[in-house]
Structure 1
Amino acid sequence: MPALSRRTFLHGTGVAIALPLLESHASAAQADAGPLRIFTIHAHLGFYPDTFWPSASGRDYQLSEALKPLEPLKDDFTVIQGMTHPGVKGGHGAANRALTATPTDITKNGISFDQLAAEHVGEHTRFSSIEMGGSVSINRSGVKIPGWGSQTDVYKRLFLAPDEKQLEQTIAGFREGRSVLDAVREQSKVIAKKVSVRDRAKLDEYYSSIRHVERRLEKAEAWAHKPMADVPLKETQVKDVRGSENLKAYTSTWGELARLALLTDSSRVLTWDVGINRNLTKVGFAKTWHGLTHTETDLWGKFDVKLFDEFSKVLQSLKNTDELGASLLDRTMVLFTSPLGNARNHRNNNMPALLAGGPFRHGQHLKFDEKSAPPYPNLFTSMLQAQGIPCEKFATATGTLTGLELKPVLNKRSRN
């Protein structure tokens, strides 16, 4: 009997419900090669170094105060200390290069590692990538990709199908966009006959950009006809909550939306920009998060404990979700990162890195000497290669990250 398609739907009168990933969707070999995802959690202000970094290194280490809430998941993550983006500086301003690792003296920003992954695996899902909250994701043109700002916005875009009129308007828009691009391309070809060799090279780059947009429009129109995924989370359960008002509700709602996006294979590349910018009085701290980093470092450390207590629940929910005999955490590389090693003095070196899940052999604290540590983008390179992305060295990387090894069972799996 042939295997069911991953995109099989139950159809009824006016109804089409997406099936979850079942054993019957694929052969045993295909099931073993289930999709691998990247989920990046970016905390702009980072974490208080004195309470974030464990004191000992290796596998026999004790978790730090901030990371204590992650104790039940200790074998599922690696803490990596000492790394920096070479040539990236500017304090808070380095956030735009947190995922690109493009040196500050290079005017045009490079593509972020998550978007490089999205270029390769995005064709398999409704959304090439999802940027939750704010955004630190940068496209190939060096432009920041707008984030999906609110929890309700993410829910609607992921799971609420447009009505027939909206669908027709959306598809018409895709077709109009392609028509405009066709006209521009033809005009450009005429111009190419009248310009210099150097200008023709620029036009060739322009054509490539046009084709990239066309492919995205073609994909968008194709997905517009497919039913949205059916999920147990109802619209009435999703409320827009600020982290400064209810940290637990804020993180749990974003975390559940991320889990459902991954579970339904809506995207295999997610970023969550944790934006908590207001006074934290309602969650027990009489300052903003930024204020804590400059004047109340003890309280900053205590805030981090609260934050990782909530992050632990997000990771645990991924671990508790089964997908063909593996957990969703096993199939998702979750990276906690920040451009600031110490927000108190705006240092951009020794940036925090905690990598959970995916195909790696975790349960360790990789501690490098700052003066001789591998570049931070070596970690990005390891993650990209694990997902099957053809990337020898990302940005200023020198290779993959020393000490971060693949699990023997997973190291030969197909990632797409």
Structure 2
Amino acid sequence: MDKTRRKLAEARLRSRRRFLQTAGVTITLPLLPSLMWERRASAQTDACDKPKRFVAYMFGNGVHKAEFKPAGSGSTAFNVSGDDWQLPAPLRTWEDLKSDIVFVSGLENMERRREAGDHGLGCGALLTARMPTREKPRSSMSVDQAIADKIQECHSGVHSLQLGTHSVGYHDGWGTFYTQNISWRGEVIRNADGTVTFPHGDATPLGKENDPRAVFDRLFAGYDPNESEAEAARRRALRKSVLDTIVPHGDSLRNRLSVEDRAKLDELFTGIRSLELEIEAGHGANCMPPEQPRMGLTNNDAFRDQLNTMHDLMVVALQCDITRVITFMQTDPISDRNFSYIPGVNGAGGVTSDHAGSHHSGDPAMIEQYRAMVNWKMEQIGSFIRKMKEATDIDGGPLLDNSLVWVGSEIGDGDAHDHQDLSVITAGKLGGLVTTDRHVRFPPGGWRDYDKVKTYGDFYLTLLDLFGVQATGFGDDGVEAITWHR
């Protein structure tokens, strides 16, 4: 898109969006039909009117692969749906979400190039499908950034958000730029035929924000970092809500809205105030242990609350159309976050973290504790997807229906630390482009038998195509799009 077309597109977008702004506080409103200019007849198919959203949700330290396989008569088939497949045990709390997900298994990502340091390798390749290098951060564009670039052609909001819960200060030989980040900016070559190429080379990891309060202020307290930080600090000192500042102006706006859009605005205001109360209640600096601040929260009940608040922030950011692309690291890999508050995790043998528990070497007691931690993490991810399903989108349907949430880990089996026969989950229908309630399995191949193996790169080529990105390849091994979405 040339500069003139881009300016016209941005002007058109702003005409369809409204902002409530006063005293340094800006709230981006959701798409409200009452405020839009009269639409052309073709608007029903306009990507700007029917936004698609992407979330990459990473959890650390893999799974107990023996249990993380769908059960049922069709569990070994290529593509089964409905009653022909059943959720694996770690997803037992997802029964109400089964009709919204696709379980994809049998993928490979860098097993053929495997070197020591599986966590850094897996994180570096997670969304890039590119083998990392140890000396310095060299990679290529991650799939979330390629999608975000495409979305920006018809979206004037925040390009993308990179979020997490903490940043571990050590690594397994690859550097913290791999273990702390999954989103990467790299070179893009735009070819004459309309395709794009993402070459390997110098790349920049996009650091994540771990503090819910900082995320809240970025989303709702203005886009000028200096002004908004000062205003946010002043408001907190006075215990003054964002809504106390903005609602008088919102009242005049409400009078111009339809009944349906008033309900959406009220839902937004209610959600913002709820988030403020959550953040005020549980996420101050006192949650950080002074002796090891790099490890994040040790008050694990607060970690549960932190996750819940981050989930709420992500949903509101998407629902309000502030951004359409988010990456989230539930935990960093190699983390020693204490999970001993989870029933079944009692610290026998010194195991209280999922990283330590993953190194069970077949010990039944350690497997049981690792299983409990994996199950808990899956429950939290299910909670986020459920929030997406319960949120209302501009078309009156669930926010999840116009979105795609990708869920995966940097390694496959926690004990083996492998990168083959990997499973990923997608949630959401992406506006009808994805047919859900299915298990799609690709032949994982044998040792060094990679000719027929399907890779993360192949998977991402299909994902990019669903978002309108025609790529010549992706990562080291992405050469052909594969059918996992229908």
CA distance in 2, matches of 1:245, 1:168: 28
1:88-103 alignment runs, 5 A limit: 88-90=113-115, 91-94=118-121, 95-103=123-131
What's 1:397 paired with? Answer: 478
After superposition, the Cα gap between the structure-2 partners of 1:390 and 1:303, relative to the gap in structure 1 and judged at 3 Å, is same
What's 1:408 paired with? Answer: none
After superposition, the Cα gap between the structure-2 partners of 1:168 and 1:40, relative to the gap in structure 1 and judged at 3 Å, is closer
Unaligned regions of 5+ residues in structure 1, if any?
A: 170-228, 406-416
**Do 1:375 and 1:398's aligned partners in 2 also have CA atoms closer than 8 Å?**
no
CA distance in 2, matches of 1:15, 1:159: 7
Q: What SS is found at the alignment partner of 1:326?
A: coil
CA distance in 2, matches of 1:130, 1:250: 17
Q: What SS is found at the alignment partner of 1:355?
A: strand
What's 1:261 paired with? Answer: 317
Deviations 1:8-46 (A, max 9, x none): 235779876543222333747535541111100011312
Task: For residue 70 of structure 1, report the CA deviation from its aligned partner.
Answer: 1.1
Deviations 1:317-375 (A, max 9, x none): 11111211332111111000122011212212222300111230011111122113311
Is it true that 1:21 corresponds to 2:31 in the alignment? yes
Is it true that 1:115 corresponds to 2:174 in the alignment? no
**Do 1:243 and 1:250's aligned partners in 2 also have CA atoms closer than 8 Å?**
no
After superposition, the Cα gap between the structure-2 partners of 1:110 and 1:13, relative to the gap in structure 1 and judged at 3 Å, is closer
**Do 2:108 and 2:422's aligned partners in 1 also have CA atoms closer than 8 Å?**
yes
Given the alignment, which residue of 22, 45, 57 partners 1:41? Answer: 57
Identity among equivalent positions (%) equals 23
CA RMSD in angstroms comes to 3.0
What's 2:308 paired with? Answer: 252
What's 1:186 paired with? Answer: none
Is it true that 1:50 corresponds to 2:66 in the alignment? yes
CA distance in 2, matches of 1:270, 1:168: 22
Given the alignment, which residue of 189, 208, 214 partners 1:147? Answer: 208
Question: Which amino acid in the other structure matches residue 115 of structure 1?
Answer: Q
What's 1:279 paired with? Answer: 338
CA distance in 1, matches of 2:454, 2:324: 27
Is it true that 1:69 corresponds to 2:115 in the alignment? no
Given the alignment, which residue of 391, 405, 425 partners 1:334? Answer: 405
CA distance in 2, matches of 1:115, 1:15: 28
Task: For residue 159 of structure 1, report the CA deviation from its aligned partner.
Answer: 1.3
Deviations 1:198-255 (A, max 9, x none): xxxxxxxxxxxxxxxxxxxxxxxxxxxxxxx963444332243748702542332121
After superposition, the Cα gap between the structure-2 partners of 1:12 and 1:110, relative to the gap in structure 1 and judged at 3 Å, is closer
Instruction: State the TM-score, normalizing by the size of structure 2.
Output: 0.64
Task: For residue 4 of structure 1, report the CA deviation from its aligned partner.
Answer: 9.1
After superposition, the Cα gap between the structure-2 partners of 1:157 and 1:277, relative to the gap in structure 1 and judged at 3 Å, is farther
Unaligned regions of 5+ residues in structure 2, if any?
A: 1-11, 165-179, 187-201, 231-267, 288-296, 361-365, 446-451
Task: For residue 379 of structure 1, report the CA deviation from its aligned partner.
Answer: 1.7
Instruction: State the TM-score, normalizing by the size of structure 1.
Output: 0.74
**Do 1:36 and 1:387's aligned partners in 2 also have CA atoms closer than 8 Å?**
yes
What's 1:9 paired with? Answer: 19
1:140-179 alignment runs, 5 A limit: 140=186, 141-161=202-222, 166=227
After superposition, the Cα gap between the structure-2 partners of 1:317 and 1:300, relative to the gap in structure 1 and judged at 3 Å, is same
CA distance in 1, matches of 2:298, 2:325: 23
CA distance in 2, matches of 1:305, 1:151: 24
Deviations 1:89-147 (A, max 9, x none): 34112111211111357983111111122222246243211110153111114221111
After superposition, the Cα gap between the structure-2 partners of 1:162 and 1:40, relative to the gap in structure 1 and judged at 3 Å, is closer
After superposition, the Cα gap between the structure-2 partners of 1:46 and 1:125, relative to the gap in structure 1 and judged at 3 Å, is farther
Deviations 1:137-186 (A, max 9, x none): 111142211111222221111112378972699xxxxxxxxxxxxxxxxx
CA distance in 2, matches of 1:305, 1:80: 19
**Do 1:334 and 1:356's aligned partners in 2 also have CA atoms closer than 8 Å?**
yes
What's 1:235 paired with? Answer: 276
Task: For residue 292 of structure 1, report the CA deviation from its aligned partner.
Answer: 1.2
CA distance in 2, matches of 1:256, 1:21: 19
What's 2:463 paired with? Answer: 383
After superposition, the Cα gap between the structure-2 partners of 1:350 and 1:259, relative to the gap in structure 1 and judged at 3 Å, is same
Tell me the number of residue pairs that the alignment of Structure 1 and Structure 2 aligns.
345
Question: Which amino acid in the other structure matches residue 378 of structure 1?
Answer: D
After superposition, the Cα gap between the structure-2 partners of 1:109 and 1:258, relative to the gap in structure 1 and judged at 3 Å, is same
